[in-house]
Amino acid sequence: MRNYAIFFSIPFFLLFSCGAPESKKVNNKSGFIVESEAVFQGFSLMGDSLNTKVDSVSQKDQIDKLESAFEAYSEEPSLENLIWIGRREAYLGRYDLAIRTFTKAINEYPSSFEALRHRGHRFISIRKFDRAISDLEKAAELMKDQPLQIEEDGMPNRLNIPLSNVQFNVWYHLGLAHYLRGEWENALQAYAECLAVSDNDDLVVATLDWYYMALMKLGRKEEALEQIASVHEKMDIIENDAYFKRILMYKGKLAPETLLSTDEGAADQSLQYVTQGYGLGNYYLTKGDTARAISIFQNVLNTGYWSAFGYIASEMEMSKLYDE
């Protein structure tokens, strides 16, 4: 048996366990049964446990795609196929398994900045920001002078057009990790690099939103407004509508109360709400309306969508406010 089969046998059992109660057993196409118990992933910035429970019904599509990723890797054990296993594990909320898979990829392909990019991202998900920064800084070194590499979407947008590149994702997540640690200057440096590889409107607004907020944290309001001056209502936005609306709010083009009116038919409605919620709460925080900001941040935390960046940022704000 090949080494990859041995490596993945244990985590696959952890994801698909035969120990589930009889009444809750739901077979997938490979005959495995989804584990019924929540699995610990880490601690929130508020000190709460972060747990994942895979739902065999609502997440059946992702489970099937993970199985397909295993099959692809068994046929061709390449770096790309190995990374896809980790990405699929992460989409199911099993960041513990995803990090383990990305670590295997890093060990086997030490010059791979792609594997470091993904592991850094998932270290952010479980609030290990120092380790995320270490991975992403190393990825930035390895990808220096490399041509932009389009990154295929694991969850395609409405037009099924991949919009981001690996270089963008390295700088974007590095900026985010610094931001979540309150390291505003370091965040700005990463976002400046991110802007240089933001080659479409979606990437531009995603970067500028965090860039703007980092500048506002430093009290550099005029510079913050200068950065978003080029954003206009006719930009071609395909998937980052939440960031786009936040910037329009900063510019006074959109009323703050409209931000939480998410599209009820959208598949990512909860993510939209969390993303918009953090932006709105932070907007009120910069204006000195702390009570309203806390109320909005708490509403974000009440969603339980703990892997979303807006959720983690809301945690960061609440933990700081409680310490004051």
Lowest-confidence pick of 35-44, 210-219, 242-251? 35-44
CATH code: domain of residue 132: 1.25.40.10
Cα–Cα distance list, 155 to 70, 87, 265, 268 (Å): 18, 10, 17, 10
Q: Are 135 and 120 in contact (CB under 8 A)?
A: yes
Domain end, chosen from 247, 267, 294, is at 247
Give the separation between CA 36 and CA 49, rounded to whole angstroms. 18
> Stretch 264-283: mean pLDDT, rounded?
79
> Stretch 5-22: mean pLDDT, rounded?
49
pLDDT in the model for residue 32: 43
Q: Which long-range contacts (CB under 8 A, 24 or more apart) does 83-88 make?
A: 83/114, 83/115, 83/118, 84/154, 85/8, 86/115, 86/118, 86/119, 86/122, 87/118, 87/154, 88/62, 88/154
DSSP, res 74: H
Give the separation between CA 238 and CA 159, rounded to whole angstroms. 8
Task: Please tell me whether residues 155 and 225 are part of one structural domain.
Answer: yes
Task: Please tell me whether residues 222 and 305 are part of one structural domain.
Answer: no
Q: Which domain holds residue 67?
A: 1-110
At 39, which helix (H) or strand (E)?
strand 39-43
Residue 2 burial class via C-beta count within 10 angstroms: exposed 0-12, middle 13-18, buried 19 and up: exposed
Task: Please tell me whether residues 115 and 240 are part of one structural domain.
Answer: yes
Cβ neighbours, 10 Å, residue 36? 16
Task: Please tell me whether residues 190 and 292 are part of one structural domain.
Answer: no
> Stretch 179-189: mean pLDDT, rounded?
98
Taking the CA atoms of residue 306, residue 311, residue 316 and residue 320 in that order, the dihedral angle to the nearest 10 degrees is -110
Cβ neighbours, 10 Å, residue 241? 18
Task: Please tell me whether residues 168 and 55 are part of one structural domain.
Answer: no
Domain end, chosen from 214, 247, 280, is at 247
Joined tokens for residue 54: 């895979």
Task: Please tell me whether residues 81 and 47 are part of one structural domain.
Answer: yes
Joined tokens for residue 158: 């409405």
Task: Please tell me whether residues 40 and 80 are part of one structural domain.
Answer: yes
Task: Please tell me whether residues 125 and 230 are part of one structural domain.
Answer: yes
Lowest-confidence pick of 1-5, 18-22, 143-147? 18-22
Task: Please tell me whether residues 217 and 132 are part of one structural domain.
Answer: yes
How much is the mean pLDDT over the chain? 89
pLDDT in tens, 53-72: 998 888 999 999 999 999 99
Tell which residue, 50, 211, 21, has the closest CA to residue 126: 50
Task: Please tell me whether residues 69 and 173 are part of one structural domain.
Answer: no
> Stretch 74-85: mean pLDDT, rounded?
97
Task: Please tell me whether residues 29 and 97 are part of one structural domain.
Answer: yes
pLDDT in tens, 198-209: 999 999 999 999
Task: Please tell me whether residues 33 and 120 are part of one structural domain.
Answer: no
> Stretch 145-154: mean pLDDT, rounded?
93
With a cut of 80, say whether residue 286 has pLDDT above it: yes
Give the count of domains, the chain. 3
With a cut of 90, say whether residue 14 has pLDDT above it: no
Domain end, chosen from 51, 84, 110, is at 110
pLDDT in tens, 155-170: 888 888 889 999 999 9
pLDDT in tens, 95-141: 999 999 999 999 999 999 999 999 999 999 999 999 999 999 999 99
3-state secondary structure of 49: strand
Q: Are 53 and 38 in contact (CB under 8 A)?
A: yes
